[in-house]
Amino acid sequence: MSTPEHASQSPDELASDLLTAQAWLAPEAFEGSLAGVRVLDLSRVLAGPLCAQMMADHGADVIKVEAPRGDETRLLGPPFVEPGQAAYFSALNRGKRGLSLDLSQSTDRAILEALLVQADVLIENFVPGTMAKWGLGYDEYLSQAFPKLIYCSISGFGATGPLANLPGYDAVLQAMCGLMSINGDPHSGPTRIGVPVVDQVTGYNAFGGIMMALFARNRTQQGQRVESTLFDSALSMLIPHAANWMTSGNTPALSGSAHPNIPTYNRFTVGDGTIFLGIVNEGQFNKFCKYIRREDLLTNPLFDSNASRMTNREALRTEMEAALKDFSRVTLCKELMAIGVAAGPVHSVPEAFEQPHTSAREMFVKRPDYQGVGIPIKLSKTPGKPGQRPPRLGEHNPTIIK
């Protein structure tokens, strides 16, 4: 492990020598729930940047530290918002200031350490061991130099176990952890879930871990390491499939859009498209059958309980779709919801964002300088706010570094 070349200087001396007076003054700070929390986001791609963006949305001052080549997602287009900034990058980096550093160089590592003097949180998703190689390992150095620091490490497999230190990507973990084995149907075979759900859950787990560590720090005055991995997150998502297997010994199989325990929780074809029905209990099934004028299903012994409906799910599906072909999806879903039966049209992405409820919930951010998805966590007294547009590479170097 290399030793920081500036070890003879105190952290305060470093900060005085290397940073401008405005280094930790965010230009658009607001009194969100995380106002005053200072975050160094060294992460790239999805899970770490998403976690840091969530913190920025709720008032944290976030500095995104990128290598000179930039976060890979800047180039994952088209589409591009502007040259060198793909829409993918814009989805994960609003509300941050941009700083470009080459952490393989001692001078730039010194700038990072100077920023750590006043930082509360550091988020990184390097291959485990990278920070230690630079003389910035948490256990070896940072925990002693900055005892109140919350250090969040995000990786594919973590720092322990047979797969430790290996690279990890969302779809690879979907495959390894069983998610693909239950997604898809016999025709498609095991299928990747269409959004990077493992990355996203890992980002949310990191966010929750950081919040718990900040809460604990209020009591103990000590920071700690938070670890969030794609492997752990992917396994944690196997509900109820893992519990079903642990109890029955039966290996979960491909089920398409169907639920493994509830036959009426599935996608169905109607007269002009496709809907998803969320019929979970007997009361909802009773209402549904009466609405489609098939009360006979309620007294049929093949369908008179969830267990019997599971045994005869394909026969039930045939009966339901024969009745549903006479309905239009919009009217059907509206009227079913009105009587307490959950149902929704299968929308395209544009249709999802064109819903009036999307606007009412402020989930579509449209500004001259930025478009993005809104904030899913709503707080009554300290609400979040979508921050400024994502930074260009190294945009704020002049206002942070002397």
The predicted-structure confidence for 76-133, as pLDDT tens digits, reads as follows 999 999 998 999 999 999 999 999 999 999 999 999 999 999 999 999 999 888 999 9
Structure tokens, 381: 């007294």
Whether 98 is covered by a domain: the verdict is yes
CA nearest neighbour of 385 among 87, 88, 56, 52: 56
Using an 8 Å Cβ cutoff, are 199 and 53 in contact? no
- How far apart, in whole angstroms, are the C-alpha atoms of residue 294 and residue 164? 56
Q: Provide mean pLDDT across the span 1-6.
A: 45
Q: How far apart are CA 142 and CA 246, in angstroms?
A: 41
Identify the domain containing residue 314 by its residue range: 265-346
b/e 228-254 (16+ beta carbons within 10 angstroms → b): bbbbbbbbebbeebeebeeeeeeebeb
Whole-number Å distance between alpha carbons of 214 and 221:
9
Q: Quick check: is 29 in a domain? A: yes
| Active-site residue, selected from the candidate residues 102, 199, 272, 369 | 199
- Residues 210 and 306 reside in one and the same domain: no
Same domain, yes or no: 36 and 168: yes
Alpha-carbon torsion 89, 65, 84, 72, what sign? negative
Could you tell me whether strands 80-82 and 85-86 are parallel, antiparallel, or unpaired per DSSP bridges?
antiparallel
Q: Is 120 a catalytic residue?
A: no
**Whether residues 230 and 276 fall in one domain:** no
Query: What is the predicted pLDDT for the residue at 4?
Result: 52
The verdict on 320 and 224 lying in the same domain is no
One domain for residues 133 and 270: no
Q: How far apart (Å, rounded) are the C-alpha atoms in residues 243 and 90?
A: 38
Percent of the chain with pLDDT over 90: 86
Residue 3 has what DSSP assignment?
P
Report pLDDT for 6.
46
DSSP assignment letter at 182: G
203, pLDDT greater than 80: yes
Tally of domains within the chain: 2
367 domain residue, yes or no: no
What is the rounded CA–CA span in Å between residue 7 and residue 14?
10
Rg (CA), the chain: 25
pLDDT band at 21 (very low <50, low <70, confident <90, very high): confident
Q: What is the mean pLDDT of residues 46-66?
A: 97
Report the Cα–Cα distance between both ends of the chain, in Å, rounded: 29
pLDDT tops 60 at residue 23: yes
CATH number at residue 19: 3.40.50.10540
What CATH number is attached to the domain comprising 269?
3.30.1540.10
The string of pLDDT tens digits covering residues 347-381 is 999 999 999 999 999 999 999 999 999 999 999 99
